[in-house]
Structures are given as structure tokens and as C-alpha cells.
């Protein structure tokens, strides 16, 4: 069980690290937001699943309820995070941020 939990959490941390790398290295607002949204949806859910499994080590009704609540956070993130990314991107487009093209300077 501990090995499975470790795989989940380490996998989540790996994707978070890649997301942070993308936020730091990508050239403009839209691609940075893309990296941030990806790490939000996959990595956060992996870490949350790992924590919920760790909580289930000795099975009882109380622990099952707590794990269910933890998984509800994942469902909430799945709904809320893409919406937030969508709102940010649309606002940036309306305010007139030009997307980056090859050969432009980094911003």
C-alpha cells in the first residue's frame, strides 16, 4: 500500500515540477497559463488520490468518509480550475495581449 501511495504522490510532484518549469520558461502569458492549468488538473488530483489512499490504510467507516471528502476536493478542482483558466485567458484576449510568435522577443 505504501508503495502505491508513494507512486501516486511522487507522480503528482513530478507533474507539478514540470508545470513550474513551464511557468518559468515559457515565453508569454498564454503558454504559461497553459502549463499552470495542466499541473493543476492532473498533478493535484494525483496527490489528492495518494493522500486519500494513505488515509484508507486501516479500513473503517470514519476513514472511508474522510477519504470521500478528500476525493470531493478533486472533483471540485476538476470543475473550478479549467473555468478559472478560461476566464483568465478570455480576459487577457479582450484586454489585447498579443500571443507570442516565433522570432518575437520573450516577455
Partner 1 sequence: MKLLRERTEKQRLGESLIIQTSVRLMVPFVQLFGLYVIVHGHYSPGGGFQGGVILGSSFVMLALAFDQKSSLRLMSERANAILGNTGAIIFVGVGALCAICGGLFLDYSALDVLIPLGPVEWRSFGIFLVEVGVGLAVMSIMVSLFWDLGSAGKMDEGL
Contact set with partner 1 (CB under 8 A): 76, 79-80, 83, 86-87, 90, 93-94, 96
CB of 25 to partner 1, least distance (A): 26
Enumerate residues 6+ apart whose C-beta is below 8 A from 73: 48
First to last CA, the chain: 46
Q: Which is nearer to partner 1, 25 or 86 (CB)?
A: 86
Alpha helices in the chain (DSSP H): 2-25, 29-38, 44-55, 61-95
Between 39 and 81, CB nearer to partner 1: 81
Smallest distance from the beta carbon of 27 to partner 1, in angstroms? 19
Nearer to partner 1 (CB atom), residue 18 or residue 66? 66
C-alpha 74/C-alpha 103 separation (Å) is 39
Give min distance, CB of 42 to partner 1, in A.
19
Amino acid at each position: 500500500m505504501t508503495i502505491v501511495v508513494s507512486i501516486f504522490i511522487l507522480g503528482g510532484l513530478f507533474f507539478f515540477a514540470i508545470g513550474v518549469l513551464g511557468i518559468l520558461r515559457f515565453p508569454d502569458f498564454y503558454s504559461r497559463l497553459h502549463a499552470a492549468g495542466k499541473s493543476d488538473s492532473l498533478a493535484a488530483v494525483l496527490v489528492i488520490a495518494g493522500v486519500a489512499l494513505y488515509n484508507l490504510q486501516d479500513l473503517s467507516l470514519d476513514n472511508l468518509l474522510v477519504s470521500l471528502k478528500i476525493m470531493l476536493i478533486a472533483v471540485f478542482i476538476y470543475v473550478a480550475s479549467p473555468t478559472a483558466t478560461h476566464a483568465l485567458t478570455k480576459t487577457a484576449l479582450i484586454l489585447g495581449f498579443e500571443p507570442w510568435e516565433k522570432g518575437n522577443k520573450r516577455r
